[in-house]
Amino acid sequence: MNGVIGGLFTDKTNYNSIFLPAVGTRDCVGTLVNTNLKGVCWGNTASSGYGLCFVFAGSTPPTVSASSLCGGFSIRPVKDDSTGINDVSADTENAKVTGYFDILGRKLTEEPTKGLYIIQYDNGKTKKMVK
């Protein structure tokens, strides 16, 4: 789509579509692989070191499979007003930052310069950030 390799997925009930780019993945040692060849998005289920993921590549039909959580796959946030996720940033104006975490919950050693991450405050509140 517009010169970007990926997949266009359309809901068969409401016909809404989303384009997911084939950005590749990071293997368990952090090496970027399959750029512009394959797209993998994490699902919402994980246990015993494995998570479900949605895999799409070229003209091959998409599949769902289990993969080790050490892999670096894309996420596709979905807005769900019933979860209250939009309210997590309340009461952080005067609070002190106690930690930065990636989307898998791993504590970072410093504030990220770009990406999606979570900030934890000394008052117990958290805030999602995108830079």
Distance of CA 50 to CAs 20, 42, 43, Å?
22, 11, 11
Predicted pLDDT at 80: 52
> Beta strands of 1-131 (E only): which ranges?
6-10, 17-21, 25-26, 32-33, 39-47, 50-57, 60-68, 97-101, 107-108, 116-121, 126-130
Q: What percent of the chain has pLDDT over 70?
A: 82
Position 79 pLDDT exceeds 60: no
Q: Is 80 exceeded by the pLDDT of residue 130?
A: no
Model confidence over 24-39: pLDDT tens digits? 888 888 888 888 888 8
Q: What is the mean pLDDT of residues 105-124?
A: 82
* Range in 41-45, 93-97, 115-119 the model is least confident about: 41-45
Residue 120 has pLDDT above 70, yes or no: yes
On the 0-12 / 13-18 / 19+ scale of CB atoms within 10 A, 87 is exposed
Mean pLDDT of the chain: 77
pLDDT greater at residue 72 or residue 79:
72
- pLDDT higher for 89 or 97? 97
Answer whether 100's CB lies under 8 Å from 115's CB: no
pLDDT beyond 60 at 131: yes
Mean pLDDT in residue range 114-119:
81
Q: Which two tokens stand for residue 23?
A: 């950005």
Residues 6+ apart with CB under 8 A from 126: 88, 89, 118, 119, 120
Q: Would you say the C-alpha torsion 87, 94, 121, 99 has a positive or negative sign?
A: positive
User: What does pTM read for this prediction?
Assistant: 0.50
